[in-house]
Amino acid sequence: MVKAPKNVTYTSLQIQKEILHVISTKVKKVIREEIGDAKFCILVDKARDESMKEQMAVVLRYVDTNGFMRERFFGIVHVIDTAAGQGYDGASNMQGEWNGLQALILNDCPYAYYIHCFAHRLQLALVGALKAVVPLNRFFTKLILVINNIRASCKHIEQLKIARASNIAYLIDIEELEIGKGLNQMVTLQRPGDTRWDNFYPIDFTDDEKNDLKKELDLYKVVKLVLTLSVSTATTERAFSAMNVIKTDLCNKMEDEFLSDTMIFIERDIVATISTDSIIDDFEDLKRRRVPFS
């Protein structure tokens, strides 16, 4: 800054916006590369910002090339014409025509049409189809028996917790697991259901077991598809929490693109991998600069 010409310090608000846009573009490129040609799910939710605009957060959920499930914030869009609606599973207390939740909401908002959640419908269809695969059906039947046997005994549950804790300690020792707040918590063993399956992570299987699963059951693509289905809106809610921190009553005139580019720092783990030199190169390529960088 000391050596820079006084008329090209590159510290103006417009320059800051351009740099943020460069970073945002590079983060989105990384997300697209993580998805590759895999299937992905789009999660959207709306909230009103400080300037009374309806903002829609866009989150992509997918299984990356390493087999890990990701939910990535991709941007926020100002929407004007919005349609109200409601979607739940097929439980009678939800979709009941007279006493269900959808009927109660329709009484106050007649345009909030009910749609049976497509994620649940797809999951039910997948479960129905997969039950016809004998090895897979046998696997889940045995899994339910094992889970029921463990859950019926406090001693078995304690033994499972001890074994799990020992395994976590070993994996941390060999640096196969990250450590930090909220990570590696002990959870209750859940029964698999037709509309709610637990997640299985790559770390739970050896390489040989992974290969056996792919060869014998051809499950890998199916599991990826199931993991891709949305199960919550926590990531979109987190995006709105970030929006409320950035766009306050003192900064309520931010342009929509500037707000979206600023919020891309939600994906700070990706931002941390982007080199300063690559940002400078892309910034220079945006347009002709008064003083060339190189």
Q: According to the model, what pLDDT value does residue 199 have?
A: 44
Angle at 242 between CA 178 and CA 284, to 5 degrees: 85
pLDDT of residue 113: 63
The residue written with tokens 């299987």 in the block is 205
More confident residue, 220 or 96: 96
CA distances from residue 198 to 55, 66, 190, 194 in whole angstroms, order as listed: 32, 19, 7, 11
Using the structure block, give the residue that is written with the tokens 């045995």.
142
Site of tokens 């929509």: 256
Residue 240, C-beta contacts closer than 8 angstroms, at least 6 positions apart? 45, 47, 55, 57
**10 Å Cβ neighbour count for 76?**
28
Q: DSSP 3-state helix, strand, coil percentages of the chain (rounded to 5)?
A: 50, 15, 35
Judged by DSSP in three states, 261 sits in helix
* Least confidently predicted of 84-93, 120-129, 183-192, 268-277: 183-192
Confidence of residue 286 (pLDDT cuts 50, 70, 90): confident
pLDDT in tens, 202-260: 555 566 665 665 565 565 666 677 677 665 667 777 888 888 888 888 777 888 888 88
Q: Which residues of 244-271 are buried (b: 16+ CB within 10 A; e: fewer)?
A: eeebeeeeeebeebbbbbbbbbbbeebb
Ordered by start, the domain boundaries in the chain are 13-88+233-286, 134-216
Q: Which are the contacts of 88, defined by CB distance < 8 A and separation ≥ 6? A: 94, 95, 101, 102, 114, 116, 117
Task: Concatenate the DSSP letters of all residues of 142-181 into one string.
Answer: HHHHHHHHHHT-HHHHHHHHHHHHHHHHHHHHTT-S---T
Task: Quick: pLDDT tens for 148-183.
Answer: 888 788 888 888 888 888 888 888 788 777 666 555
Mean pLDDT over 58-74 rounds to 87
pLDDT band at 200 (very low <50, low <70, confident <90, very high): very low
pTM: 0.54
Q: pLDDT, tens digit, for every residue of 169-178?
A: 888 788 777 6
The confidence score (pLDDT) of residue 29 equals 94
pLDDT digits (tens, 9 = 90+) for 114-147: 666 666 666 777 777 777 788 878 887 888 888 8
pLDDT by residue (tens digit) across 6-61? Answer: 667 777 888 889 999 999 999 999 999 999 888 888 887 778 888 888 888 888 98
